[in-house]
Structure 1
Amino acid sequence: MTTDSSADQQSLVSRAADAVERVSDTPALDVAARLGFAALAVVHILIGAIALRLAFGGNGEAEPTGALEEVAEGPFGTPIMWIGAAGCAGLALWQLSEATLRARHLSTGQRLGKHISSGSLVVIYGSMAGTFARFGLGDGPDSSKSTVDFTQSLMASGFGVLLVFVTAGIILGIGVHFVIKGVRRTFRPELRTFEDTARGRVIEVFGVVGHVSKGLALLLVGGLFVIAGLDHNPQESTGLDGSLKALQYHPVGVYVLTAIAIGLVCYGIFAIIRSIFGRM
């Protein structure tokens, strides 16, 4: 009797999850997620452009808030910020459904990997939605300062240095994931059409260069967290902008900075392609 009752409950939960999955698979969420990819594409292209400007002696903040600040100050800045916020929120919801509802159909190992990868993206895209919204309200944050404040708050806790190293490990892990994804070209299934044609090969170049460059940029950010933990100095973790600007003072740093800048633009172009031809 108890076994039958338990089976009925599991069946009821499964049917409910199937119903929620069908509801989540709506054109509105699809459009919002694609809009989110487009918004992130613009952010990456702008970060790449700012980094390229830095490589040639210019100024700017080569990180998400620096890019958004330049857009927010334009004539249509506020509506663009709110469109970006809606898109990133939709993208976060879509990844949440990927991490929970759709992950049910995978094997145990694949399900765990999906929980980690999509779960991380839920946090990333959700925070980007919040950043867009803050700029829409006219209260855009300084990312480098926010990173320092975040690191300082970690160090002020009981397990301060350990938490900084854990954060560094997560960022470094994501960076390695992007590099491997680019080198192995595992981004190909994300697109609906990927023919072995000249167009397909061009898209593949954008995907490889973009993912590897984004991964390298994250490795630099994670490296600064490691240095901050070793030195017990939160001022060392200055985010993406600080890590890219630090390259200016190395003998070959300008060349590396230029390569990463071009790669981030390539990732942005790939994200635009992903927003149009991506599998959702």
Structure 2
Amino acid sequence: MSDEDTALGEAANAAEAVSNTRVLDVVARSGFAVMALLHIVIGAIAIALAFGQPGQAEPTGAIEQLAANPWGPGVMWAGLIGCAGLSLWQLSEATLRARHLPAGQRLGKLISSGFLAVAYGSVGLTFAGFAVGLRGDSGDSTRDFSTALVQGPLGVPALIALGLTVIGVGIYFIVKGVRKQFKEELHHFEGTRRGRMISALGVAGHVAKGIALILAGLLFVVAAATNRPGESTGLDGSLKALRDHPAGPFLLMAIAAGLISYGLFALVRARFGRM
């Protein structure tokens, strides 16, 4: 091994040690709690959509609901800090700690944790926008991003690749839920009523979140295939499109219940999860 490789290895070890500090642990756990709250609010908005009520069933809509409360400004800054810490923690999972995994698992960890790092960072920026008085519609942001991506050098293939990546992450969540792989992230509750309840929340929540991501990813792929990037409207657009089908309201209610379940599971993850 060369001196350069040794120096890089020592730098990576030092960075990993920093990522294991108590401060980042606490902030990342608060980020899980923030995301739990958002999933519960999004689930509640999705239920309202199933009954024909207006709303945005995505992070921006949920953050807008939280910002409207008297304690809104404090919640916005707390949400920003929590999401930023969680994004940094996921980034360290995708890079620093993934290097210890077998080669076959390394790529999967890079994609899944890397995607989540970007997603949590994006939610953190939304909190920041609301904190300083800049509010937006995530559907509009998604459309603008998709349009800009299509007009870029790689164009349609890039948008299809993005959609397939989102679909892949959705499949990952479903598999994780069905196989109960989320149990590896928790301190054991096996053999207790509480453990069975947490397991049920984990299964329902991961499967519902996976389905929601697949629907959102499909919108990207369809928008790219039809060369209409304006139709890629993210989670909110996919759930509203689902509502328009004959059995849509019932499916939307099921997904909403699953998202709330995921939120409750994430609260448990925030308190008892392995970091």
Q: TM-score range by the shorter chain?
A: over 0.9
Q: Which moved more, 1:124-133 or 1:100-109?
A: 100-109
**1:225 and 1:15, CA in 2 relative to 1: closer, same or farther beyond 3 A?**
closer
Q: Hey, what's the Cα distance between the residues in 1 that align with 2:243 and 2:16?
A: 48
CA deviation map 1:11-35 (0-9, x unaligned): 4433333233222211110000000
**Contact (CA 8 Å) 1:188, 1:194: kept in 2 or not?**
no
When the two structures are superposed, what TM-score results if normalisation uses the length of structure 2?
Answer: 0.96
Aligned to 1:16: 11
Residue 198 (1) aligns with residue 201 (2): no
Instruction: Name the stretch that deviates more: 75-84 or 156-165.
Output: 156-165
1-structure distance, mates of 2:70, 2:120:
25
Map 1:88-99; keep pairs closer than 5 Å: 88-99=83-94
Could you list the runs of 5+ residues in structure 2 that have no partner in the other structure? none
Q: Number of matched residues?
A: 275
1:80 maps onto 2:72 in alignment: no
Residue 267 of structure 1 aligns to which amino acid in structure 2?
A: Y
Task: Report what 2:144 is aligned to.
Answer: 149
Q: Compute the displacement of 1:272 (Å).
A: 0.5
* Whole-Å separation in 1 of the counterparts to 2:105 and 2:217: 26
Contact map agreement 1:193 1:277 (CA 8 A) in 2 = no
Distance 1:56 1:26, change over 3 A: same
Q: Would you say the 8 A contact 1:39–1:87 is kept in 2?
A: yes
User: Following TM superposition, by how much is the alpha carbon of 1:137 offset from its aligned partner in structure 2, in angstroms?
Assistant: 1.0
1:231 aligns to what? 226
Work out which of the residue numbers 117, 129, 133 in structure 2 matches 1:138: 133
Structure 2 CA distance for aligned equivalents of residues 241 and 162 of structure 1:
23
- Aligned-residue offset at 1:73: 1.4
Going from structure 1 to structure 2, the CA distance change for 1:145 and 1:12 (only over 3 Å counts) comes to closer
Q: Indicate which of 10, 24, 29 corresponds to 1:34.
A: 29
Which residue number in structure 2 is paired with residue 61 of structure 1? 56
Compare 192-201 and 15-24 and name the one that shifted more.
15-24
TM-score normalised by structure 1 residue count: 0.94
How far apart are the structure 2 equivalents of 1:218 and 1:162? 19
Distance 1:16 1:263, change over 3 A: same
- How far is the alpha carbon of 1:102 from its aligned partner? 1.7
- How big is the shift at 1:146? 0.7
Deviations 1:191-239 (A, max 9, x none): 0123222111100110000000001111111111122112211221121
1:44 and 2:59 matched = no
1:25 to 20, 24, 27: 20
Gap change, CA 1:10 and 1:161, over 3 Å in 2: closer
Between 1:168-177 and 1:117-126, the stretch displaced more is 117-126
- Retained in 2: the 8 A contact 1:36–1:88? yes
Equivalent residue for 1:166, pick from 161, 166, 180: 161
Per the alignment, residue 211 of structure 2 pairs with: 216
Structure 1 stretches of 5 or more lacking a match? none
> 1:163, 1:46 → 2: CA distance?
32
- Bigger Rg, structure 1 or 2: 1
Higher mean Cα deviation, 37-46 or 53-62?
A: 53-62
